[in-house]
Structure formats: structure tokens, C-alpha cells
A and B are shown apart, each in its own frame.
Chain A
Amino acid sequence: MLQLGVAEPMRECEYSQISTRSSTPMETPYKKRTPKKRKWQAFPGRNKFYCNGRIMMARQTGVFYLTLVLILITSGLFFTFDCPFLSVQLTPAIPVIGGVLFVFVLGTLFRTSFSDPGVLPRATPDEAADLERQIDVANGSSSGYRPPPRTKEVVINGQTVKLKYCFTCKIFRPPRASHCSLCDNCVERFDHHCPWVGNCVGKRNYRFFYMFILSLSFLTIFIFAFVITHVILRSHRQGFLNALKDTPASVLEVVVCFFSVWSIVGLSGFHTYLISSNQTTNEDIKGSWSSKRGKDNYNPYSHGNIFTNCCAALCGPLPPSLIDRRGFVQSDTPQPTPPTNGITMYGSTQSQSHMAAATPLMQSEPVILTDEASLPGRTLLGGPCSGALPLGGQPTPPTSTPNLSCDNGMLPTRNDHSEAHHHHHTDGVHHHFLTPEEAPSPPGMLPCGSPLGHSHTLQGFYNPASQDSLHEDSVRGLVKLSSV
């Protein structure tokens, strides 16, 4: 039995319809439009952006500057104090090779540090709601407490891999992806978070990272070797202590290089092993594919031979960034991050799913009203309409903000559900981005806020007077349906 309390929200809508036009920050027809935000400004993760979104780094960049300073100072000293002597005494190729290595090191360092490692954008509210629904169906319960960690199993090349659900990003992580707690992002093919480069190392910048440590190893060894050569050559002439007095910088260089060589060369060796076996640091540390776990445990991502694995990691296609940092935030696309215009529609995720129940209500109308218009052969009385009946009990008074009542007229918000949903999330992960006040504006908002240049027909859509009759008709329609 349907509840016909839909009339209530109608009246609210009627009044607020007017205020919507003038008070919405999103739609300001007579005021000058505020400049559009770029997506990096609304990015939910803990990253820092520079150069208007072109550069992306982690929050803590102190160690990166240390790395940069060490490289610059050591190389600088080398070129200033050692190279003149060596180029004269030995060959001018030394500073040239040194120079090439230095440029390569810096280039790869910047590329690793400044690029997007392969961050997965968070799920839009619709997707999150859809996944939640599927999970609830699978679990058979939807209670207030946090359910056990959600996993999905998938078989890849004969190995069973578990895909975990990320509570922050609201997605099932693809295989090999991991959530970086420092940057608060899910990163594809997550290797590790490297403080030395001030960024995560993932799918998109792994090759640059590898090139960086490899070239840095060569540079370090190069500088170390030639500084020692320099000191030795000088000592032949002047004696050891005098030589050191003449080139004090060399001492500093040797010390820095000595300590760096062990760590950097070691790291390069380790990553060469990882690349040749197509594993990530994360997987290696956890021993995901080690034979110790079981006889049948093997790496399903490996291409079989070392050469192919190396080629794939270093020369394979470079996927583009999925986060589109320099794009503009579209007011109509569902954004995971909330615009700060005080829209209380946290329950949008739920309302979206209930919209699913609501929309068939709409689809049933033509059956009664537009009988002369032949529908494209399809019956709308099938699946979608059967979902309409649970709409009973849905209508609740719309939430306070005027914006909402616009679509509340059509699709009542589930306030009570939105509270439960909020609790459901706040117990969970840190750094949760949604509160009832900061809820993402659902796509349903949009027509209210759409530019005036939009067609009259759509404005007619929200004419409160017509909505009354619309609902009456739709109710009639459902009654007819139920009698069928």
C-alpha cells in the first residue's frame, strides 16, 4: 500500500523553489560567477600541489629537499674543485660524462617526485552506494556497526588473489594497489612511499624511480672514484696531507659518497631484482609470492622471463594520470569531495539508491498519459516498475537547505538513513571527508542549479504545480499497475 504523503514535500518545494534561484551559491545568474575551481584544489588526499596542479607531491617534503641539497652540493663541489684538475690531467670526458649523469639524475628525480604515482580517484557517491548495496546483498545484513573487512576473490593466471575494499576510497582495490596512509590515497601497483623523493612510488613513476636510483648509483660511484683518483694524483706530487689541504672539498665528497654508495647501490640491486621478477616492494616484504607460503604459490603477474619483465616495467606503455588535477571541477559531475555550500545531503548515497526505486515511478507515467506517443516498443512495466512499490514509506520531510527540496519533490531524501550512514562511516577510517554538512552535492541537485540558458522544458520539469499532478498521475499509474 502506497503512502501518499508525497504532497507534503511538494509544498515545501513550492516555496523553496523561489529561494533556490536566488540563494544557491551554485547558480548565480545575476551575480558574477565565481572562478571555477580546479580539481587539484578539491583533491581529497593528503598531497601538496604546486604550479597550479602540475606538480604533485606528498605532504612531508623535508627529506626530498635534503636529497636535492646533497646531490647538488656534492656534484657542485665535484665540478668546481675536482673536474678542472682531472680534465687537464686525464681527459675532458670526465666532466662531460659527469654532467650527463648529473642532469639525468636530476631529471629522473624531479619526474619521480613531481608526477602522479598512479593515484586512484575515490569513488563517486553513486558508485559507492552501488557497491555498498552489492556488499549488503552479499552479506545479507546492513547493520549500524562496521561489518568485517570486505574482500573479493579473483583468480589471476591460476592464483587466487584477494581484493580488499578500501574504506577511505570506497572502492575495491585493483590487484597490486595499496592505500598509502601517508598520502591517504590508493595507488596502483603500489611499491612504497619514499620520503627521499617526497612521493609514493607506484605504477606511473616506478620507472623514473628506478632510473633515478640507478643513475644516482652510477653518479655516486663515478664521483667517488674520480675524487679518490684526484687525491691520489695530487698526493703523488705534493704528498697526501698537502693534497688534502689543497682540495678540502674532496674530503666532504668522499664521505658523502662513501655512505651513499652502500645504500643506493644496494637499493638499485634490490629493485633490479624486483623488476626482473615483476614484484613490488610491498609484495616482496609481505612475501606474497614467495614459495615459503606454499608450493603452488607463484607470481601471477610475471611474464615468465627476466627480459620481458624488465621491458614491461621500464619500457611499457605509460598510463595517463587518472586524477586529472588541472581539470575544472564540474558542478554537475558527482564529486567525491564536497563543495562547501552547506548542502545537507550526506544521505545522497542512500537517496541515490532509493532513486532507483523512485525512478520507475516516473517511468510508469507514460503508460497512462502519453498513450498516443508510441513508446519505443519497450515495456517499462517489467523490472524497473517492480522496484517502485518499495517506495512506500519513503517520503520524509526534506532537509533544511532550499536546494534539496527542489529534487525532494521528486525524490524524498532519506534523512534517517543518512544519519545511520554517517555513523557507519565515521567510526571507521581516519580522515574521513564527509560530514552531513559537507555532503557531496548529488547529481540530482543539478537541474536547479543549471544555467539559465538551459531549455525551458527542464525548468518546466521543476514546476511545482506540475509536480502535484505528476505525482497524482504516477500514483494512478501505480495503482493501475498493481491491479494488472
Chain B
Amino acid sequence: EISAPWTFHNLQELRHSASLANKVFLQRDYSDGTTCRFQTKFPSELESRIERPLFEDTVKRLNIYYAEAEKMGGQSYLEGCLACATAYLIFLCMETRYEKVLKKIGRYIQEQNEKIYAPRGLLITDPIERGMRVVSLQLLLLLCVCVCERETDKEKHKDR
């Protein structure tokens, strides 16, 4: 077990430290039209980092959520008609179904990061923060920070 001087309690902190990381981008898959889908092809850079089924599972789940957000069915039509009838003022007090699903996606990504990706030194960025263009995965340099800590300790010992 790596004894890291700090832990991933705060993913925000992790994002700060992840700035020197390499990034892998999953582009959009437009084969189904303009609906939001991401390519599930497993990038080669991740081969040593994460197991393929876990990764594919995450991306597939994201695609399912996006499909749910954009689904045109009874509920969305009802919402659309109601909104039109109230001159769209209803959105001042109620959030759209799309927004609700996006929040769900945000929570899902957070959960996946905490449970699966961060322990493997990866960090998924919510596509909404990148304009729904890409799912960005940051490969983190966790181990090197660990090393640095030891180095500074060694230096301190040398100086004394």
C-alpha cells in the first residue's frame, strides 16, 4: 500500500495536484446523430492503469444517462408543453429534466472517481465542464509526489 502523505479526501485538491498530468480524451460518437454519446473504445494509454471492463462500464453508463436526458417521450413533451403554456416562466422555479439528469451524472462521476478511478491514479472530468465535447481522463502523477516527499525528508536528514 502506498503511504501517501495526503489522501484523496478532497477530490478538488486532487484536481489541483493533477495539473501536470497527462490527459486522455474520449471523443463524441456521432454515429447515432446529434444525441450525446461517447466513444467506448478503450484508449491504449489506459491499458496499464485500469481494467477494460470497468472503464467500458463507466462510459456505457454515462451514455445511458445522456440518452435518458435527451429522450423524447411523454414526460419531456409534457414538460415542453407546460413550459410553453406558462411562457417558460415555470423554469424559474423548476429545473428541467435534462438538468436533473446532469446532476445525477455529476454524482455518478464523483462516485466513480472516488471508488474506482482515483485509487488507480485516474480522474474523470465531467463532460459538461468541457462543453460535452469529451470525457477527459487525467492520468495522475501520484507516485512522484510521494517520492518527492521522501526526498525532502532525506534532504532534511542530510542537512542536520
Given contacts A320-B102, A383-B44, A383-B45, contact A457 B132 (CB under 8 A): no
Indicate if A429 sits at the interface (CB-CB under 8 A).
no
Option from B45, B70, B96, B129 in Cβ contact (under 8 Å) with A333 = B129
The B contact surface, by secondary structure, is helix
Q: Identify which of residues 88-107 in chain B touch chain A, using a CB-to-CB cut-off of 8 Å.
A: 88, 96-99, 102
Closest-CB distance, A207 to chain B (whole angstroms): 8
> Which chain B residues border A343 with CB–CB below 8 Å?
none
Q: Mark B16-44, 1 if CB is under 8 A from A, else 0.
A: 11111111010110111110000000001
Indicate if A120 sits at the interface (CB-CB under 8 A).
yes
CA distance A130 to B79 in the complex (A): 39
Among the 9-residue stretches A19-27, A64-72, A362-370, the one with 4 or more Cβ atoms under 8 Å from chain B is: A362-370
Option from B22, B79, B129 in Cβ contact (under 8 Å) with A356 = B22
Q: Identify which of residues 103-143 in chain A touch chain B, using a CB-to-CB cut-off of 8 Å.
A: 103-104, 107, 111, 120-121, 123-124, 126-127, 130
Option from A111, A211, A370 in Cβ contact (under 8 Å) with B146 = A370
Indicate if B52 sits at the interface (CB-CB under 8 A).
no
Indicate if A382 sits at the interface (CB-CB under 8 A).
yes
Indicate if B61 sits at the interface (CB-CB under 8 A).
no
Option from A127, A154, A322 in Cβ contact (under 8 Å) with B132 = A322
Q: Mark A148-163, 1 if CB is under 8 A from B, else 0.
A: 0000001111000101
> Which chain B residues border A126 with CB–CB below 8 Å?
23, 25, 136
CA distance A374 to B143 in the complex (A): 11
Option from B6, B13, B98, B152 in Cβ contact (under 8 Å) with A466 = B152
> Which chain B residues border A410 with CB–CB below 8 Å?
20
Closest-CB distance, B116 to chain A (whole angstroms): 12
Given contacts A126-B136, A318-B96, A455-B6, contact A300 B49 (CB under 8 A): no
User: Are the C-beta atoms of B48 and A379 separated by less than 8 Å?
Assistant: yes
Option from B33, B70, B143 in Cβ contact (under 8 Å) with A366 = B143
Interface size class of A (residues with CB under 8 A): 35 or more
Indicate if A171 sits at the interface (CB-CB under 8 A).
yes
CA distance A443 to B139 in the complex (A): 13
> Which chain B residues border A208 with CB–CB below 8 Å?
88
Q: Mark B47-80, 1 if CB is under 8 A from A, else 0.
A: 1110000000000000000000111100011011
Closest-CB distance, A121 to chain B (whole angstroms): 4
Indicate if A317 sits at the interface (CB-CB under 8 A).
yes
Closest-CB distance, A91 to chain B (whole angstroms): 24
Closest-CB distance, A108 to chain B (whole angstroms): 8
User: Are the C-beta atoms of B48 and A127 separated by less than 8 Å?
Assistant: no
Closest-CB distance, A126 to chain B (whole angstroms): 5
User: Are the C-beta atoms of B144 and A362 separated by less than 8 Å?
Assistant: yes
> Which chain A residues border B44 with CB–CB below 8 Å?
383
Among the 9-residue stretches A191-199, A227-235, A308-316, A432-440, the one with 4 or more Cβ atoms under 8 Å from chain B is: A308-316
> Which chain B residues border A156 with CB–CB below 8 Å?
30-33
Option from B1, B20, B132, B150 in Cβ contact (under 8 Å) with A374 = B1
User: Are the C-beta atoms of A332 and B15 separated by less than 8 Å?
Assistant: yes
Given contacts A359-B141, A370-B150, contact A316 B76 (CB under 8 A): yes
Option from B20, B97, B139 in Cβ contact (under 8 Å) with A407 = B20
CA distance A317 to B80 in the complex (A): 7
Number of interface residues of B (CB under 8 A): 70
Q: Identify which of residues 356-392 in chain A touch chain B, using a CB-to-CB cut-off of 8 Å.
A: 356, 359, 362-363, 365-366, 369-370, 373-376, 378-380, 382-384
> Which chain A residues border B160 with CB–CB below 8 Å?
none
Closest-CB distance, B59 to chain A (whole angstroms): 17
User: Are the C-beta atoms of B20 and A382 separated by less than 8 Å?
Assistant: no
User: Are the C-beta atoms of B147 and A470 separated by less than 8 Å?
Assistant: yes
Indicate if A77 sits at the interface (CB-CB under 8 A).
no
User: Are the C-beta atoms of B31 and A443 separated by less than 8 Å?
Assistant: no
Closest-CB distance, A450 to chain B (whole angstroms): 5
Identify the closest chain A residue to B125 (Cβ).
A333
Given contacts A315-B81, A466-B155, contact A175 B143 (CB under 8 A): no
Closest-CB distance, B19 to chain A (whole angstroms): 4
User: Are the C-beta atoms of A469 and B155 separated by less than 8 Å?
Assistant: yes
User: Are the C-beta atoms of B131 and A323 separated by less than 8 Å?
Assistant: yes
> Which chain B residues border A362 with CB–CB below 8 Å?
141, 143-144
CA distance A148 to B47 in the complex (A): 33
Indicate if A58 sits at the interface (CB-CB under 8 A).
no
Among the interface residues A157, A322, A382, which one has the most CB atoms of the partner chain B within 10 A?
A: A322
User: Are the C-beta atoms of A444 and B19 separated by less than 8 Å?
Assistant: yes
> Which chain A residues border B81 with CB–CB below 8 Å?
315
Indicate if A461 sits at the interface (CB-CB under 8 A).
yes
CA distance A171 to B65 in the complex (A): 24
CA distance A121 to B127 in the complex (A): 12
CA distance A369 to B145 in the complex (A): 12
16 contacts between A and B (CB under 8 A): A103-B87, A121-B131, A127-B134, A154-B30, A172-B27, A175-B33, A311-B77, A316-B76, A332-B19, A333-B129, A365-B143, A384-B45, A443-B18, A447-B19, A458-B17, A463-B151
* Extra inter-chain contacts (20) besides given A363-B143, A375-B2, A446-B16, CB under 8 Å: A121-B130, A161-B30, A175-B34, A315-B76, A317-B80, A318-B80, A319-B98, A363-B141, A373-B2, A374-B1, A378-B120, A380-B48, A382-B47, A383-B47, A383-B48, A384-B45, A384-B48, A444-B19, A447-B17, A466-B151
Binding site for A on B (CB under 8 A): 1-3, 5-6, 13, 15-23, 25, 27-28, 30-34, 44-45, 47-49, 69-72, 76-77, 79-81, 83-84, 87-88, 96-99, 102, 119-120, 128-134, 136, 139, 141, 143-152, 154-155
Which A-B residue pairs are the 3 nearest by beta carbons? A315-B80, A443-B19, A121-B131
